[in-house]
Amino acid sequence: MSIGLIALLDDIAGLAKAAAASLDDVAAQTARAGVKAAGVVIDDTAVTPGYVVGLSPARELPIIGRIALGSLRNKLLILLPVAIALKLLAPWAVTPLLMLGGAYLCFEGAEKVCHGLFHPAEPAGDATPRPVLDPKAFEERKVASAIKTDFILSAEIMAITLAAVPEGGILTQAIVLALVGLGITVGVYGAVALIVKADDVGLALAASASGGGLGRLSRAFGRGLVRFMPALLQVLGVVGTAAMIWVGGGIVVHGLEGYGWTMLGHAIEHAAASAAGAVPAIGPAVAWVVGAAGSGVVGLALGTVLVGLEALVLAPALAAFRRRRAAASPPAG
């Protein structure tokens, strides 16, 4: 995710100094916090293109723009003030909320894995009738659904960022949160726009009537781009799911360590150190992979348990509550 947006005006340095943070410190903290949130960002990038499927190509970029603006409102106008207030008034609640968000990521990732394993896609010839919506109503529903999903992912991004910022002035923390939120939103929705419009670019290149070797090359590139994009979207979906499970598991493991439950964290660290020692030439990379895999195993196990609880306990209880409420309601008319 691009972090090139973290340049501040020099005249803010005095305020930052009063908050015990220099420009370089803010930039470094922003970069570190952005990296911490990378797993959620990958999932955000993977999920969002699905919200423009079925819409007119001419409306794709405007819709992405609307979702991006909604994402900025989520992060800067709602979640940032809430995060700062939490840090000031109830700092003890940050870790439990972060762990709750991590557990949700594990649940959502495991749910996608279970769905892929036990609910194969509908056959292409499925002719089940679907209601036809007014195009404007369909677009509004898509945008609202995307912004709602973004709110959940943005809350986790801001929580991860807040936890990654060391103790310091409130101004520093607010600046870092704002910069991470802005940078991630621009990066995610810029990438989504490129992904969504890449097939249109490919079609235009494939239909080019230019002659000569350059024309043939551009047409071949366009055809390749059109064929490549569906595979890229599938890969993004898999990577996004894996990132959710890995990041969620890591958040839960680190949160447990903060409460004295260090066994899981120590086991993962020991495995990573042992693997790195076995191949010292690429030790750091191996340690990262093994550590991420360990967090992923924890995340998948936790997520699978939560999926089972939701299916066997929460969903039936909610259905029974709705039936009782419907039975108690007076008949209409």
Q: Tell me how far CA of residue 49 lies from CA of 61, 134, 187, in angstroms.
A: 11, 21, 14
Question: What integer pLDDT is reported at residue 256 of this predicted model?
Answer: 92
Q: What is the pLDDT of residue 19?
A: 36
Q: How many CB atoms lie within 10 A of CB 66?
A: 18
Is this prediction's pTM over 0.75?
no
Token representation of residue 317: 């209880």
* Dihedral, 255, 261, 265, 266 alpha carbons, nearest 10: 150
Can you tell me which residue has the tokens 């959620």? 40
Nearest to 263 by CA among 298, 301, 304: 298
Cα separation, 252 vs 162, in Å, equals 16
> What is the Cα–Cα distance from 82 to 52, expressed in whole angstroms?
30
Q: Where in the chain are the domains?
A: 10-122+135-232
- CA 292/CA 272 separation, integer angstroms: 9
Q: What is the pLDDT along the chain (333 residues), one digit of tens a residue?
A: 333 333 333 333 333 333 333 344 445 544 444 444 555 555 556 556 655 655 666 777 888 888 889 888 988 899 889 888 888 888 888 788 888 888 988 998 898 888 888 765 554 444 444 454 566 777 788 788 778 777 877 887 777 777 766 666 778 778 878 887 888 888 878 877 887 777 777 777 777 767 777 777 888 888 888 788 778 777 777 877 888 788 889 889 988 998 899 999 999 999 999 998 888 888 888 898 899 899 999 999 999 999 999 988 888 888 888 888 877 766 655
